[in-house]
Amino acid sequence: MDPRPDLLGLAPESLREVLGEVVDRPFRADQIFQALHVRGVREFAAMTELHKDLRGRLAERFRIGWPEIASRALSADGTCKYLFRLHDGASIEAVDIPDRERRTLCISSQAGCALACTFCVTGFWGAGRNLTAGEIVAQVLAIRADRELGPAGLRLVFMGMGEPLLNLEALRPALDILGRSISLRRITVSTAGVVPGIEAMAAWERRPNLAVSLHAPDDARRSQVMPINRSYPLAELLSALRGYPLERGRKITFEYILIRGFNDAVADADRLVKLLAGLRAKVNLIPINPDPVLGETMVPPADRQIEAFQQRLIQRGMTVTVRRRRGDDVSAACGQLRAFDRAARSKTAKAKSASQGR
Ligand code: SAH
């Protein structure tokens, strides 16, 4: 493993500090930041605005932590899933989702996830490790370079692998860096409801958009599919959200996976409205993406039922969107990121199901 520290996770102030004596003049740090994050330079040798011996000294001491693209899977709908190999061999996935003039990159905050939500394939494979700020930022750099994308029209969602609010230490500097080329208004952090993390973010001076994975309108059902609800039940979660400062015109997004026969009754739509009363909220309905490891009961409702659920929310004055399924032919859809190739996965999944009796 490369022992040199990675420069990609350092915002300009930290970069100035870390580079300290290595550079001849303080403004070099800003030049280097520009080269790394605006030009997307991958090697010190390409920083031709610096003297040759400075480039040499930098390369001796530091690295530029771009991940290796281990594979790329392009969906028929234009969605592209990336499997990245990190420098210690860990792998993560990120997804590029073009949608007319918009473009959303869905990125990971952890390699794996400890929360074990029953509907999510990442959780099925268990905990991994926190990503560093550099590893978070590098996903965006690598996809932008691969697809030749500028920052214009780009949106970022932290809806890949992992729970971003369990990795605030890296999330914060990563947002500081990413927020310099993409407005924080176009960046959304999605949480399973880590209350201390929400409270910490509430105190930040600059915040991205917040999305909360709700998925059930009461504690009994939420705890059944999201074990984290036992630590932070709905009353606590909603009270933290009521205290969360929102800029003008902003709303908290509530993600609600629709699972047939579990949480898709029109009466559940009514409960949801009641639960969110008084919050500046919008609801994003996500028909569940099934997966072989999830079991037969985890299937989406019929279109008719999805429509009825949505209509009820609209009738009751809620802002609602239904998330279209993207990239499911390459397992790039929500909850399908596991950072395994398919063949290896089906073998291991069988072994794992057998040993767990699932
Ligand atoms: N840990 C964070 C972010 C990662 S998950 C969170 O929980 O919000 C991003 C979104 O995908 C969450 O709303 C999650 O609940 C949803 N998701 C997970 N598995 C899914 C599945 N099988 N089908 C549809 N959405 C899923």
Q: Which residues of 204-238 are buried (b: 16+ CB within 10 A; e: fewer)?
A: eeebbbbbbbbbbbbeebbbebbbbbeebbbeebb
Residue pair 295/258 in contact by the 8 Å Cβ criterion? no
Any ligand 1 atom below 6 A from CB of 135: no
Residue nearest to atom 10 of ligand 1 (CA): 159
Rounded CA-CA distance 78/307 in Å is: 26
- For residue 84, give both structure tokens: 């990245």
Any ligand 1 atom below 6 A from CB of 255: yes
Place of tokens 């971003």: 164
Rounded CA-CA distance 345/216 in Å is: 29
The tens digit of pLDDT for each residue in 179-235 reads 999 999 999 999 999 999 999 999 999 999 999 999 999 999 999 999 999 999 999
Q: How many beta carbons lie within 10 A of that of residue 34, not counting itself?
A: 15
* pLDDT at residue 350 in the model: 47
Query: 3-state DSSP helix/strand/coil percent for the chain, to nearest 5?
Result: 40, 20, 40
Confidence of residue 273 (pLDDT cuts 50, 70, 90): very high
pTM for this model (two decimals): 0.93
Residue nearest to atom 25 of ligand 1 (CA): 334
Q: How far is the CA of 12 from the centre of ligand 1 (A)?
A: 32
Q: Is 334 left (phi over 0), alpha (psi -120 to 50) or beta?
A: beta
The tens digit of pLDDT for each residue in 139-154 reads 999 999 999 998 888 9
Any ligand 1 atom below 6 A from CB of 167: no
Place of tokens 């794996």: 112
- Does residue 335 carry a pLDDT above 80? no
Collapsing DSSP to helix, strand or coil, 56 comes out as helix
Query: Which atom from ligand 1 is nearest to the alpha carbon of 211?
Result: 8
* pLDDT at residue 344 in the model: 47
The tens digit of pLDDT for each residue in 343-358 reads 444 445 544 544 443 3
Looking at the chain, how many residues does it have?
358
Any ligand 1 atom below 6 A from CB of 163: yes
Please state, in angstroms and as integers, the Cα–Cα distance from residue 67 to each residue in 8, 71, 87, 165, 340, following that order.
11, 11, 7, 23, 16
Mutational test site, ligand 1, from 125, 255, 260, max ligand atoms within 8 Å of CB: 255
The alpha carbon dihedral of 214, 230, 219, 115 has a sign of positive
